[in-house]
Amino acid sequence: MKTRKSWLLLGLLLLVLSIGLYAALPQRKEPPLRHLTDNPENYKAIDSSIRLLQSGDLVLRTGTDAISYMLRQMNQKNKTYSHCGIVMIENGYPFVYHSIGGEDNPAETLRRDSASFFFSPAHNQRLGIVRLGLSAPQVEKLHQLVWEYYKAGVRFDMDFDMASNDKLYCAEFVYKAVCRATADSAFFPLTTLFHKQYVGVDDLYENSRAKMIRDYIYRL
């Protein structure tokens, strides 16, 4: 019995000594997890991209969440981008008009955001800029139209229904605004899938009228 107690005491003593020695040792700190917002090169890329922007440009981005992934599946030609908007230079700075819903925009009304906010790497992993080759009068008309949509508080179309005009999803907003500004209903192609016709984000830039002038993937 005494021998058993002695072994127990010795074991406890060794355990206490081990814990003490471990606590005294310098601990290796695990490096904090990096995020796309931690890399200053991403902000430099955004700044350089913003300097390229002109009124009437189409801007694109790819989100980092599951909703972005699902939206990209609507694209039948190029699944790179999930969201889009129209740029207008106002008081010397580019603003992006875009239709968005969900947690990013609980009000679900058309947004007018600064280009830096639109391109933020906080929830995005890629940006793109597309020039549509619009004439000055067409850009002026487009500016008038997007402002009207914005002031009317047009809501995001959760049904992705091209037949309705009181609600518009992101690519539909760009499609209808540009087609009206150019008086050309065939300015962009449409996608047909399962007997349903709609405009995908890729339809807006995968065509002969569009020229991609910037495509940047954010880096960790």
pLDDT digits (tens, 9 = 90+) for 84-102: 999 999 999 999 999 998 8
Domain limits for position 41: 36-217
Lowest mean pLDDT among 37-46, 100-109, 158-167: 100-109
Beta bridge partners of 93: 90
The answer to whether position 18 is within a domain reads no
Burial of 25 (0-12, 13-18, 19+ CB in 10 A): exposed
Structurally, how many domains does the chain consist of?
A: 1
CA dist 199 and 188 (Å) reads: 8
Closest C-alpha to 122, from 78, 67, 61:
61
pLDDT at 42 exceeding the cut of 80: yes
**Quick check: 39 and 120 in contact, CB under 8 A?**
no
The answer to whether position 20 is within a domain reads no
Mean pLDDT of 150-171: 95
The answer to whether position 130 is within a domain reads yes
- Compute φ and ψ for 155, nearest 5 degrees: -95, 160
Q: What is the CATH number of the domain that holds 55?
A: 3.90.1720.10
The answer to whether position 154 is within a domain reads yes
The answer to whether position 3 is within a domain reads no
pLDDT, position 33: 53
Q: Which residues contact 207 (CB under 8 A, 6 or more apart)?
A: 188, 189
Average pLDDT, the chain: 90
Which of residues 59 and 31 earns the better pLDDT score? 59
Q: What is the pLDDT of residues 102-148, one digit of tens each?
A: 887 888 899 999 999 999 999 999 999 999 999 999 999 999 999 99
The answer to whether position 181 is within a domain reads yes
The answer to whether position 77 is within a domain reads yes
